[in-house]
């Protein structure tokens, strides 16, 4: 069972706690299980080297998304969490929070991992492929991780959205705080049980005031041009066709 957003290798305040603190998160996992975590390591300049020094034989999944959509998703997440004013549009948010865009430049970030780890230990996953073919997408991931490829997660076809503009940010913040306290207490399994029960979704839906306004066509075109050189460099690095991210028909990935 992946443990989410420990961010041990990227955040100094957590990395300074040492490997014992990190490994304590997995103390309830069986040795027969494939153990992993999901964290925001891609845009960190130090995480790749730290991961390599900790476990050079680890298998890595790197998820990439259309950079404009990825930036908008960050905006949605912070809007939902009440970290930015509900009236703030995406166009204004990217000016005030340049990190939205900085995290969408992939070439240098991915190259840090390819320079350290053998290529067969890294699986590059394109978000849009998962939307088009969720069964094939998850099967390929399981094969890479040496997990039974016939297993189908119960939530495979369930759409999960960022949640939109909250009616009360305090509700979202309280839920996040409780979840964090439960993780610190080693109750990750209980968190998953609660999520699967649908309770969290019900609360988020009840607290949702409206969906965020979408990116304007003009802003999308502007950002596409901004990311164009990086997309082309990433295509060359990975030998993948990412023309769809540039608004062009895709010839198929190699």
* Strands in 146-193 per DSSP E: 165-166
Q: Indicate the average pLDDT of the chain.
A: 83
Q: How far apart are CA 192 and CA 76, in angstroms?
A: 23
- Whether residue 17 has pLDDT greater than 50: yes
Q: How far apart are CA 39 and CA 44, in angstroms?
A: 11
Q: How many CB atoms lie within 10 A of CB 17?
A: 12
For residue 216, give every residue at least 6 positions away whose Cβ sits within 8 Å of its Cβ, in sequence order, or none. Answer: 91
Reported as a single tens digit per residue, the pLDDT across 80-139 is 877 888 889 999 999 999 999 999 999 999 999 999 999 999 999 999 999 899 889 999
Q: How far apart are CA 15 and CA 31, in angstroms?
A: 24
Reported as a single tens digit per residue, the pLDDT across 197-227 is 666 565 555 555 556 778 899 999 999 999 9
Q: Which residue has the higher pLDDT, 173 or 68?
A: 68
CB-CB contact of 75 with 212 (8 Å): yes
Per mean pLDDT, which of 157-161, 169-173, 240-244, 249-253 is the most reliable? 240-244
Q: How far apart are CA 240 and CA 126, in angstroms?
A: 10
Would you state the pLDDT for residue 211? 61
Q: How far apart are CA 124 and CA 65, in angstroms?
A: 11
- Whether residue 55 has pLDDT greater than 60: yes
């Amino acid at each position: 069972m992946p443990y989410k957003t420990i961010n041990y290798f990227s955040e100094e305040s957590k990395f300074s706690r040492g490997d014992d603190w990190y490994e304590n998160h997995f103390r309830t996992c069986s040795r027969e299980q494939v153990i992993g975590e999901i964290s925001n390591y891609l845009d960190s300049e130090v995480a790749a080297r730290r991961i390599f020094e900790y476990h050079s034989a680890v298998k890595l999944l790197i998820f990439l998304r259309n950079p404009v959509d990825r930036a908008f998703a960050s905006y949605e997440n912070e809007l939902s969490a009440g970290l930015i004013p509900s009236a703030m549009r995406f166009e204004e948010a990217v000016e005030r929070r340049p990190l939205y865009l900085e995290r969408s430049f992939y070439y240098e970030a991915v190259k840090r991992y390819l320079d350290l780890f053998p290529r067969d230990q890294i699986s590059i996953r394109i978000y849009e492929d998962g939307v088009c073919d969720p069964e094939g997408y998850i099967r390929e991931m399981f094969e890479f991780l040496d997990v039974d490829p016939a297993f189908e997660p119960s939530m495979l076809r369930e759409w999960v959205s960022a949640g939109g503009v909250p009616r009360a940010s305090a509700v979202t913040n309280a839920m996040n705080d409780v979840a964090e306290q439960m993780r610190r207490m080693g109750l990750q399994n209980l968190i998953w049980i609660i999520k699967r029960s649908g309770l969290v979704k019900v609360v988020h839906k009840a607290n949702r005031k409206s969906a965020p306004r979408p990116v304007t066509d003009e802003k999308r075109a502007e950002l596409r041009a901004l990311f164009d050189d990086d997309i082309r460099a990433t295509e060359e690095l990975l030998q993948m066709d990412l023309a769809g991210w540039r608004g062009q028909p895709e010839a198929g990935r190699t």
